[in-house]
Amino acid sequence: MKCIVNLFLLLMFIPDSDIPMMEGDILIHPRGRSAINCVSCLWPKSADGTVLIPYNLSSGYSQQQVSLFQNSLQEFHTLTCIRFVPRTTEKDFISILSTGGICASFIGRIGGEQQVYLDSGSCMSRGTIQHELEHNVHRSDRDDFVTIMTQFISPDKIGNFDKMDTNNVGLEYDYGSVMHYPGNAFSNTSGQATIVPKPNPSIPIGQRIGLSPLDVSKINRLYQCDDSGLLLNSANGTVTSANYPSTYPNNSTSVWLIRTPSGQVSLQFIAFDVQFSTDCVSDYIKIFDGPSKASPVLLDRTCGMGLIPQLISSTSQMLIEFVSDTSITATGFKATYTSGAFYAPGKNFTSPGYPAAYSPNMNCIWKITAPAGYKISLTLHDFMMESAPNCIYDSLSIYDGADTSSVLMVKYCGTKSARTFNSTGNAMMLNFISDKSFQYKGFLASFVFVSAT
Ligand SMILES: *[C@@H]1O[C@H](CO)[C@@H](O)[C@H](O)[C@H]1NC(C)=O
Ligand SMILES: *[C@@H]1O[C@H](CO)[C@@H](O)[C@H](O)[C@H]1NC(C)=O
Ligand SMILES: *[C@@H]1O[C@H](CO)[C@@H](O)[C@H](O)[C@H]1NC(C)=O
Ligand SMILES: *[C@@H]1O[C@H](CO)[C@@H](O)[C@H](O)[C@H]1NC(C)=O
Ligand SMILES: *[C@@H]1O[C@H](CO)[C@@H](O)[C@H](O)[C@H]1NC(C)=O
Ligand SMILES: *[C@@H]1O[C@H](CO)[C@@H](O)[C@H](O)[C@H]1NC(C)=O
Ligand SMILES: *[C@@H]1O[C@H](CO)[C@@H](O)[C@H](O)[C@H]1NC(C)=O
């Protein structure tokens, strides 16, 4: 099959480069190849069903940016059969460059070394990284679902909106795609949109948080990937095992990636019933603090019945894996997730109002859960509460476990100097109580997770 690149009215030029660019961030190769509607420009599929895309990352990124880049790749790996792998000797590969002041890439596989520009100053967010990498995988679409407001586009920018023959692989138009341009793209008039969704102009477009569920479906359909992970990208929602509350299927593995728009993920189980086996060798659930099975474990293999404590990720990503063997199934699980700021390792937290006086008649609880294999090291930096024998009026109690039935490590009142408390397991609970009289500033504390081994 021949790969024909469309003709564009105008081409933009990247500074310090002779490679022309269109649609703001798409590079056009002088040889004129592109993956627009072009099956032979896809990356080849390996015998094991994965699609390997070798890449070489330039040396111009900080350690933190390299981590973010890896995190962005891991979402592709969890959700699709695309595998970005460090290049060794492969002839065709993408070369990620930190220079140029732009975020831009080619469309599809062009052969040989193909450059992706991810400026280390302005392009290093997960959504932008994934947007540029996805160009290398396929072309996103734009058709009759938006109105282009040409009255706000200067003639020399109009070429960015040329309609292209694209491959939608039969899926619906995706306003929430990480590939979609924002509503004000190339506007020459402040406050005036150039792209207006139809029929509802208030549909949000142009998000750069990360891949959308339809972005994932599009890649999987284009490359005919086998079942991959399911992406849940709302701020809150529900996850259930397949067929819940009927029995889950035999012989299956399911993966859910929760990636909330911001904050951390908090997962609360409502029901849990999974075939019991010793060490959960048969059916099990396992939960990770991040986007892949290589991320730290939040909940190790768990099976049987009963409730699982609330789990909180350290970032906006949490991965749930659910595996069943070939016999005996149960009803599985149901859980809800929300996002927000939870008490995170290394961050200070305080009694309400600190350093101003706390209120009378308070009863507050903080529950801290570390990933499996970690314990909690809590430091009270500053402490002042009403003093009384046995702390009978105001007090802070610290428990070595998830609730008040756990061992009481200390019951504090009065004025105390800084001190550290270590849990023996992966949970700790603080209970702060005040009575109706005499209020002081309370406490300032922080915690870290330390390896239990
Ligand atoms: C990969 O990038 C590094 C750092 O920029 C460079 O030194 C190396 O030559 C590149 N390797 C390949 C295979 O392109
Ligand atoms: C914006 O673009 C429109 C259409 O090309 C043009 O008529 C108008 O003069 C431009 N406005 C500005 C402020 O450049
Ligand atoms: C869930 O998110 C929606 C908006 O995305 C919001 O309206 C709703 O209040 C949230 N519910 C909870 C329980 O946080
Ligand atoms: C389990 O599923 C795999 C792939 O889906 C299949 O190859 C295998 O035969 C199945 N095993 C049983 C015992 O059903
Ligand atoms: C799972 O397999 C067992 C036999 O090994 C069968 O009795 C059961 O109905 C199967 N469950 C489902 C949901 O297919
Ligand atoms: C936490 O509070 C302590 C004591 O005031 C302070 O030294 C430290 O810098 C604070 N840490 C953070 C992360 O704010
Ligand atoms: C608690 O654990 C930390 C980190 O492992 C250690 O430095 C500290 O000495 C321990 N403190 C106590 C009171 O055990």
- Averaged pLDDT, 278-307: 94
Q: Which candidate, 173, 254, 168, places its Cα nearest to that of 219?
A: 168
* 399's tokens: 């428990």
Whether the CB-CB separation of 372 and 288 falls below 8 Å is answered with no
0.75 exceeded by pTM: no
- Averaged pLDDT, 242-269: 94
Domain 349-451 falls in which CATH fold?
Jelly Rolls (2.60.120)
Angle in degrees, CA 265, 269, 275, rounded to 5 = 125
The CB of 250 under 6 Å from ligand 5? The reply is yes
Looking at domain 230-340, which CATH architecture does it have? Sandwich (2.60)
Ligand 4: nearest atom to the Cα of 250:
14
Residue 337 or 30, more confident: 337
Asked whether the domain spanning 230-340 has the same topology as the one spanning 12-135, the reply is no
- Least confident range of 87-91, 95-99, 152-156, 208-212: 152-156
Distance 310 CA to ligand 7 centre (A): 26
Q: Is 237 helix (H, G, I), strand (E, B) or coil?
A: strand
Strand pairing category for 230-232 and 252-259: parallel
Q: Is 113 helix (H, G, I), strand (E, B) or coil?
A: strand
The CB of 56 under 6 Å from ligand 1? The reply is yes
* Extended strands (E) in 174-283: 195-197, 230-232, 237-240, 252-259, 264-274
Distance 243 CA to ligand 4 centre (A): 19
- Averaged pLDDT, 183-200: 83
pLDDT at 147: 73
| H helices present in 150-236, as ranges | 213-222
pLDDT digits (tens, 9 = 90+) for 78-128: 999 999 999 999 999 999 999 777 787 777 788 889 888 898 988 888 888
* Ligand 4 pocket by Cβ (under 6 Å): 251, 326
Distance 375 CA to ligand 7 centre (A): 10
Whether the CB-CB separation of 202 and 194 falls below 8 Å is answered with no
Q: Using CA positions, which residue lies closest to atom 5 of ligand 7?
A: 450
pLDDT at 28: 56
CATH homologous superfamily of 12-135: Collagenase (Catalytic Domain) (3.40.390.10)
- For the chain, give every domain's residue range: 12-135, 230-340, 349-451
| Most ligand 6 atoms within 8 A of CB, residue of 343, 347, 348, 420 to mutate | 348
pLDDT at 161: 66
The C-alpha atoms of residue 2 and residue 174 are separated, in whole angstroms, by 28
Distance 330 CA to ligand 5 centre (A): 10
pLDDT digits (tens, 9 = 90+) for 114-150: 888 898 988 888 888 888 888 777 554 444 466 777 7
* Extended strands (E) in 26-81: 26-27, 51-57
The C-alpha atoms of residue 247 and residue 242 are separated, in whole angstroms, by 8
Q: 132 an active-site residue? A: yes
pLDDT at 170: 61
The C-alpha atoms of residue 234 and residue 216 are separated, in whole angstroms, by 15
